[in-house]
Amino acid sequence: MPKKVRIALDAMGGDFGPSVVIPGAAVALTRHPDSEFLLFGDRALIDPELGKHPALKAASRVIHTDVAVSMHDKPSQALRRGRKTSSMWLAIDAVKKGEADVAISAGNTGALAAMARFCLRMLPGIDRPALAAIWPTARGDSVVLDLGATIGGDAHHLVALAVMGSALASVVFGLERPTVGLLNIGVEEIKGREEIREAAELLRAMNLPQLEYIGFVEGDGIGRGAADVIVAEGFSGNIALKAAEGTARQITEFLRNAISSSWRARIGYLFAKNAFKALRDKLDPSKSNGSVVLGLNGIVVKSHGGTDAEGFAYAVDVGYEMARYDLMNKIKQMLNRDGSAPAQAQTSQEAVS
């Protein structure tokens, strides 16, 4: 019988706390019955929700704390106020102590990155954490990072992101040498900020065996699936993510309005109902929820703070897959292949939320 996957949840994280985290975990448990959960947070708020889901209750243990990180806390504030006592810290610390295989939080992105870095420490040769997500594209899925763990970064940081992203893509997609592109304002070599151009030169010169650098990728190239891995520093990556999510919701609203505009449109919808459902599912941001915090000595997954229960369940799915198939060790192997990870980058700045 396979070993249980132990999942630590920050039950107080996100915009809705236990009212989303608990039912989301219950949905995930139906898909992964070999899971067990550690729920960190205010028992008075967790227990009523947990009582609605007997199967999850049987597979869970609640660890009480009345300290929670606010969505508006700065990372430094979160570390001062919530270190060793908050639901977010305790979930991460469970991974450090070996009590859980993965920690998942929908809480403050900057606080999560700061706490995870402080608690778990970074992998050798990696100085800053990065948020990486599996992004649905026209040709399949791509890995996109950094989606907001830290802001800014020099050329060596971008190269480190390329190596970590390609390691994740190799494991998740089964690719021997994933293609990698740098997000830029144009594909011409003379365009973009100096650190992006320098990173491109480094990637060409290094000719790393674990990735194939293909050049710059513009914003529309993310949706086209221009590369298996698309690299951006956290500020522009987070903007790209939020813009894509907003566009998906906008298109869904346009379709809804068009379908209800006339009786002919409604009849047409009945004939194309399955096609519209497939499109709606493809555009649903919750179905690609769950970003992996790369570069840490442990697995941490960030869920979108405003997601619903189904969306949070997808984040749990990501954490489950990372833990079940031992992707952490495989990523370490990729980072250490033919030497070590690229030179460490500059000190991280305040993360985006």
Can you give the three-state secondary structure of the chain, one letter per residue? CCCCEEEEEECCCCCCCHHHHHHHHHHHHHHCCCEEEEEEECHHHHHHHHCCCHHHHHCEEEEECCECCCCCCCHHHHHHHHCCCEHHHHHHHHHHCCCCCEEEECCCHHHHHHHHHHHHCECCCCCCCEEEEEEEECCEEEEEECCCCCCCCCHHHHHHHHHHHHHHHHHHHCCCCCEEEEECCCCCCCCCCHHHHHHHHHHHHHCCCCCEEEEEECCHHHHHCCCCEEECCHHHHHHHHHHHHHHHHHHHHHHHHHHCCCHHHHHHHHHCHHHHHHHHHHHCHHHHCCEEEECECCCEEECCCCCCHHHHHHHHHHHHHHHHCCHHHHHHHHHCCCCCCCCCCCCCCCCCC
pLDDT confidence tier of residue 153, bands split at 50, 70 and 90: confident
* Total structural domains within the chain: 2
Same domain, 49 and 141: no
Same domain, 153 and 192: yes
pLDDT tens across 216-269, in order? 999 999 989 999 999 999 999 989 888 887 877 777 777 777 777 777 677 766
Q: In percent, how much of the chain has pLDDT > 70?
A: 87
Same domain, 205 and 182: yes
Same domain, 193 and 52: no
Same domain, 79 and 42: yes
Residue 150 lies in a domain: yes
Residue 337: pLDDT above 80?
no
Same domain, 302 and 188: no
Residue 228 lies in a domain: yes
pLDDT confidence tier of residue 343, bands split at 50, 70 and 90: very low
Same domain, 217 and 273: yes
pLDDT tens across 166-181, in order? 988 887 888 889 999 9
Residue 52 lies in a domain: yes
Same domain, 293 and 282: no
Residue 333 lies in a domain: no
pLDDT confidence tier of residue 117, bands split at 50, 70 and 90: very high
Residue 27 lies in a domain: yes
Residue 332 lies in a domain: no
Residue 353 lies in a domain: no
Same domain, 101 and 47: yes
Same domain, 137 and 276: yes
Same domain, 204 and 111: no
Residue 156 lies in a domain: yes
Can you give the pTM of this predicted structure?
Answer: 0.82
pLDDT tens across 284-313, in order? 555 678 899 999 999 999 999 999 999 999
Same domain, 260 and 241: yes
Domain CATH for 138: 3.40.718.10
Domain encompassing residue 162: 130-286
What is the model's pLDDT at position 50?
96
